Chains A and B, each alone.
Chain A
Amino acid sequence: MANCAECKSFFPIPESEDDFEQGKGDCIREEKDPKGKFWLSKPVMSDMPADNCKYFTKKLAN
């Protein structure tokens, strides 16, 4: 089962941040519509299941 931590849109929140929590990250996606490009950031937990997320894209291994 895939989870958010495995997605390329998942960016862990550093410990120094005000909203740090263990396992918490920003889900950041680029979108585009006729008015232009924009980026959305939503907080997610690394272990949230991602199987039903239409935006899930597995991170490439480094």
Chain B
Amino acid sequence: MANRHHPIEFNGKIIDFPYENPAEENIPEEELHQNLARPITERTKRLKSRCRWKHATAGEFVDEGVRAGIERMRLITEAHKQSEGKPQVIRRALGLANILNKCTVILQEDELIIGYHAEHPSYVPLYPELAYMAVQDYIQSPKYAPLPVEEAMEINEYWKKYSLQSQCEAYFTEEELFQMYQVSTIEAPEFATGYNSIIPPYETVLEDGVLKRIELAEQHIKEAMEKMAEPYWNAPERLQWISKIDEWKAMIIAGKAVIAWARRHARLCKIVAEHFETNPKRKDELLMIADICQRVPAEPSTGLRDAMQSKWFTYLICHAIDRYASGYAQKEDKLCWPYYKASVIEKTFQPMTHEDAVELFECERLKISEHGAGKSRGYREIFPGSNDLFILTIGGLNRDGSDGCNDCTDAILEAARNIRTTEPSIVFRWHPKGREKTKRRVFECIRDGLGYPSIKHDGVNTAQMLYYGQFSMNNNGATPEEAHDWVNVLCMSPGLCGRRKSQKTRTEGGGAIFPAKIFEVTLNDGFDWSYANAQLGPHTGDPRNFKTFEDLWEAFRIQYRYACDLGVRSKDVSRYFEIRQLQMPFVSMLDDGCMELGMDAMELSEQPNGWKNPITSVVAGNSLVAIKKFIYDEKKYAMDELLTALHCNWEGYEEMRRDFLNAPKWGNDNEYADAVIKRYYEDILAGEMRKITNYSAGPVMPVGQAVGLYMEVGARTGPTPDGRYGGEAADDGGISPYMGTDKKGPTAVLRSVSRVDSSSQKANLLNQRLSVPIMRSKHGFKIWKAYMSTWYDLNIDHVQFNVVSTAEMRAAQKEPEKHQDLIVRVAGFSARFVDISKYGQETIIARTEQDFGPEDLEFLNVGELG
């Protein structure tokens, strides 16, 4: 039976917590999430049941049959060989064109949105021009190797000298490469993994269509050639036109290839309708899809079906075919609103009901769930139980300050709640002006245990866009209006979206460093004794000689600074070569700035957006608190004793470990701990990082988060002074209390977190697990809204929720086949619980399930609970 929350006394009354849906009282708590899916049509129910999931865990794909394809590798290599001698940007465009002209185009039964990016719907493409090690890993794996493997080896060998990885490696020492590649103090650089992110200018495709962009580029070439020919020749002024003309020419090549490729889909649909399909209804549908693919993305979109297909084609090019990129960054409700309005409200183009729109969004979710990311092994480790990071953004305010929520926002949320997939995740930008009915839908998704939407503070992040804009190299950073148009680039960091100024590469911002491991090596003069057996940081001295806590603080600062510098340097070296070798002419064509200026999207940067992700921060923070207390303030232990205990993994030092474990911990509104940790976040995590200037001439700021790296890096981190054993998981989110240590209730967590000045940080992930019986009770929405209102007033950047019972997770561990719909929030993404390793499952179970007591309800100003 369901577990009803016990009555509590509040404001002089006894408050009961019956379930909002009385039927749920009869559903055993171990089975709740298996009863929540309700696909809106039989079609989406069928599509979900046959979905070609691409979840990965511990470096492996969960489903059988997923493997790397060879087609993209083959076609980009063929083009590279044939285009020798041409300007590099043209070579890149010809590479894309060759792939699009010759690749396999796929249609699956039942689909409303079509298109895939490899030669088989279960395959993932590879990118030998990026990281040769990432491709080598696939080649060496019998399960995943592209076939024929000898050809794949030859291709990878061909590309090695041209690859981004080889180009960049030359500018680092062997020691630096070793330190980065083994992913314990610092994440491997983009050039070694091929990992990437982008915010494509979808708006341009939907509003203009690609044909118009081609015309614009042709016009620019004409004008440039005329300027070149004007008397009197002026070399310094006019030689610059050459690279611009090449860029516009490349845009045209790429644009025409994209149109032709989309139209190949039209032809396929028509032929299948006429020669293969026997169901008359599906025949008509295929002919409708054929008409759509013939028109978009060549022409502007007219209705919602056009928009969804045009967006999907653009997504495939920008995120998979031209180059790999994680993410699904877009302000989807704003982007689709004109087309939703035309189709659902005005019914002038592609008329449909709101339910039809929901079906389309459900179809989109399933397309994303099937999307195969040919990413490196490291990235197959760190999003366990899920596919890749796919996060779309909704809500917030419009440019004119009005509420950004609309009926399209609601359709997106209803689709998410109905179909129950781990991807795409959703970010909801919370503002007090946001309408109640949309917030209700947000609540229902969270209450259903989806783990999303995660919530971002609209005001804090809009202000941040303005802050970064002031560093713009061409004085064209975000205007106050444009600052409202932001989305999460991946799971946490905001960036502008729209026709111009969006982030086009991960080298601008992203990538992790690991304070827990950095702290560990600080205690060993920069040496890693527990994982790599190597010097990972500078020599900062024997900690037994640190006379004061400040000595330790400064040593840690130096280690952290080293990791930040190395990390950002590796990004900007990657950027240097991206500009010269990995141009993206199709993406550039879509950006109004690139089109106007004749510059490539890798090079043009009008809005800086630099960041780096400290992950495992709270282990280091709690360790600082414990050391300060026991070694420097109370002097109960000497540093020598602590180091010995750590090197023994606390064995034989159990009492000492208990002391350090029970030292004040972050997240309990404890003044002692919070003072140290506030200073740590502001002075070290942010303070040091902000001294760095990136390619875009802006500061780099910390984005505290975790994804699954808290498990991976935890496994590579030895015992730490917060009482952790070696190999145990680290903290599961940028500013989240360590699992199980936040014991004073949910509002104590908010009070702790609010002490860190959010404007000093770029973002900080806060994971909270809320009580199922409270959230599903008739008071759930009121209590949660009060919580969110308080969160907003405290200026906290972010929060995301798990709403899942321990009983259900334990049941799922015993019988995973019966719990395929159980989704949990890991950190920054959601995962199918049964697809996470046992190690990871235990970390979710260990998270404190926050209950709301009378003091919490009082603090939240909940008001009357009838």
Contacts and interface: CB of A to CB of B under 8 A. Distances in A.
A41 B108 contact: no
Contact of B271 (A11, A17, A33, A37): A11
A26 B267 contact: yes
Interface on chain B toward A: helix, strand, loop, or mixed SS? mixed
B259 A18 contact: yes
B237 interface: no
Interface in A20-57: 26, 28, 30, 33, 35-43
A37 B279 CA distance: 14
Nearest to B121: A38
B50 A40 contact: no
A28 B107 CA distance: 10
Contacts of B103: 42
B511 to A, nearest CB: 35
A7 interface: no
Nearest to B370: A35
Nearest to A8: B275
B79 interface: no
B282 to A, nearest CB: 11
A15 interface: no
A28 B119 contact: no
A11 B276 CA distance: 13
A13 interface: yes
Interface in B319-367: none
B109 interface: yes
A38 B108 contact: yes
A40 B104 contact: yes
Given A13-B267, A37-B109, A19 B276 contact: no
B109 A19 contact: no
Interface string B97-122: 00001111111111000000001111
Nearest to A38: B108
B104 A41 contact: yes
Nearest to A27: B104
Nearest to B298: A18
A10 to B, nearest CB: 11
A59 to B, nearest CB: 11
Given A13-B267, A26-B268, A35-B122, A43 B108 contact: no
A23 B415 CA distance: 45
Contacts of A37: 108-109
A38 B106 contact: yes
B106 A40 contact: yes
A43 B75 CA distance: 13
A43 B97 CA distance: 14
B268 A39 contact: yes
B416 to A, nearest CB: 23
A23 B761 CA distance: 60
B283 to A, nearest CB: 14
A6 B102 CA distance: 21
B263 interface: yes
A35 B122 CA distance: 9
A44 to B, nearest CB: 10
Nearest to A28: B271
Contacts of B263: 17-19
B268 A19 contact: no
B638 interface: no
A41 B268 contact: yes
A26 B270 CA distance: 12
Given A17-B263, A26-B268, A36 B108 contact: yes
A5 to B, nearest CB: 16
A33 to B, nearest CB: 8
Nearest to B274: A11
A41 B50 contact: no
Contacts of A43: 101-102, 264
B52 interface: yes
A23 to B, nearest CB: 15
Contacts of A13: 267
A30 B52 CA distance: 17
A36 B120 CA distance: 12
B271 A26 contact: yes
Given A18-B259, A26-B268, A38 B102 contact: no
A48 to B, nearest CB: 13
Given A18-B260, A43-B102, A35 B52 contact: yes
B268 A36 contact: no
B720 to A, nearest CB: 45
Interface string B52-81: 100000000000010000000000000000
B260 A39 contact: no
B4 interface: no
B648 interface: no
Contacts of B51: 35
Nearest to A37: B109
Contacts of B275: 11, 28
A40 B108 CA distance: 9
Contact of B267 (A33, A36, A41): A41
A35 B47 CA distance: 10
Contacts of B377: none
B272 interface: yes
Contact of A28 (B121, B122, B268): B268
Contact of A40 (B119, B122, B259): B119
Contact of A42 (B104, B107, B259, B272): B104
A38 to B, nearest CB: 4
A33 B122 CA distance: 10
Interface in B246-284: 256, 259-260, 263-264, 267-268, 271-272, 275-276
Contact of A39 (B50, B101, B264, B276): B276
Contacts of B122: 33, 35
Contacts of A35: 50-52, 121-122
B105 A41 contact: yes
Nearest to B269: A39
A18 B294 CA distance: 11
Given A18-B256, A28-B268, A41-B268, A36 B109 contact: yes
B210 to A, nearest CB: 12
Nearest to B110: A36
B255 to A, nearest CB: 11
A39 B259 contact: no
A36 B366 CA distance: 14
A38 B268 contact: no
Contact of A30 (B104, B119, B267, B276): B276
Nearest to A40: B104
A35 B267 CA distance: 24
A36 B106 CA distance: 13
A41 B105 CA distance: 5
B265 to A, nearest CB: 8
Nearest to A20: B260
Interface of A: 11, 13, 17-19, 26, 28, 30, 33, 35-43
Q: Which 6 A-B pairs have the closest CB atoms?
A: A18-B260, A38-B108, A41-B268, A37-B109, A41-B105, A36-B50
28 contacts: A11-B275, A17-B260, A18-B256, A18-B259, A18-B260, A18-B263, A19-B260, A19-B264, A28-B268, A28-B275, A30-B276, A33-B122, A35-B122, A36-B50, A36-B109, A37-B108, A37-B109, A38-B107, A38-B108, A39-B106, A39-B272, A40-B106, A41-B268, A42-B102, A42-B103, A42-B104, A43-B101, A43-B102
Given A19-B260, A35-B52, A37-B109, 10 more contacts: A18-B263, A19-B264, A26-B264, A28-B275, A33-B65, A35-B122, A39-B106, A40-B119, A41-B104, A42-B103
